[in-house]
Structure 1
Amino acid sequence: MVDVSDTDEDVRLAVYHSFATRGVPPAAAELAAVAGGSLAVAKHALHRLADAHHVVLNESEHIVMAHPFASIPLGFSAMGKNTLWWGGCAWDSFAIPHLVPDEPEVLVATRCPGCAEPHAWVVGREAPPPGSQVAHFLVPVRRIWDDVVHTCGHQRVFCGESCVDGWLAASGNTKGYVMDLPTLWNLASRWYEGRLDHGYRRRSPQTSAAYFASVGLTGPFWAP
């Protein structure tokens, strides 16, 4: 009898290692191979993983995100020495070099949503990249999974707060949370620790709150 939890973990690892090494999700045949040769079993595992917020699926059962990786453009690219990724958001793009062992630094590129100014940083593991830009997170933590694609698409980097304010006025959105690049880098640096390892467990609300506080992020916006 197949152990469902083992199958789910095998499928999860196949997804994450494919993204980490190639920048894309695994093909259907690859998923079937780690699920006893059955694509149906692999798809059931994917749906359970989506319910547990390990992956994000679209209406066609395709993998859209496996944080910090994405299969669709959401505003950021992250280019390593060997691999090019879509970064799911500012948070995820800055997290990639901390997670992928063979890529200690990546070139993260985006455009300011307020004025379309291009920005790029070499993001590594040792220290935040220089820059006066700011990240704006529109959706509070407790609402992230209401529509996670919308959430990630609105964690963006702007030239400065004036561009944030201009974009908010033009879009009709309410201001979320603004942070500088060092805070963004600190937030991303350890958030996904262990995600490529067997037996990874997502953070609980309590440990998430403690992690946010450890990088200086507190208050209602950051309450899980």
Structure 2
Amino acid sequence: MKKLVLTTAAMALMAGTALADGHAVVRLGTEGAYAPWNFVNDAGEIDGFERELGDELCTRAELTCEWVKNDWDSIIPNLLSGNYDAIIAGMSITAEREEVIDFTQAYTPPDPSAYVALDASVDLENGVIAAQTSTIQASFIADKGWTLIEFASPEDTVAAVRNGEADAVLADKSFLDTVAGTDGLVMLERMEAIGGGVGMGLRESDADLRAKFDAAISDMKADGTLNTMIAKWEVASQW
């Protein structure tokens, strides 16, 4: 165990040093399964709001970047292990996550969380609510003391409602907008305001890289490019 921890720390340190020297390709980790934020298109490539955003941020920061697809439940551990250099995956900024990694400033305001169910009159407090594991929505349901069932992927949470395993799913409204109205799924009127906006996650040792992305995000906010991109993909309210 001690050797494993030391190896992980060494990998993170080496990655940070290489990036600081400006000689490495910056690897951007994303889930690729959370449309319209990030998804895999018909050509097998990462696509969506965060693909367009990440490419633009790298251009403005004068960085050479490549994309890495990673499952959500291991996305932070694999950042710390050096498998990629930044997370850009619809990740809300939370105090709990900031104990482990650093974040850039938010590139979108908080996206309201919504419920989708097969019955608009579903009793949320006494029902079974599905959420993706390690998300702000899963934490919210657990804190409420409601019955929570967790799944590794967002598609699985919706499937659980379709097959009767769960009464409703709680997720970002922008994601649920893509499934509401299909197979009898309806959006409930109730919304939840949770999370502190979405930002890029980085290792604490990569302060220089975080500063580069922060500057690029600020630049996109100032010239209106970021609001235009948010409106195009309908991922959140504008700044």
Q: Same fold (TM over 0.5)?
A: no
Provide the TM-score with structure 1 as the length reference. Answer: 0.30
* Structure showing greater relative contact order (alpha-carbon pairs closer than 8 Å, 6 or more residues apart): 2
Provide the TM-score with structure 2 as the length reference. Answer: 0.28
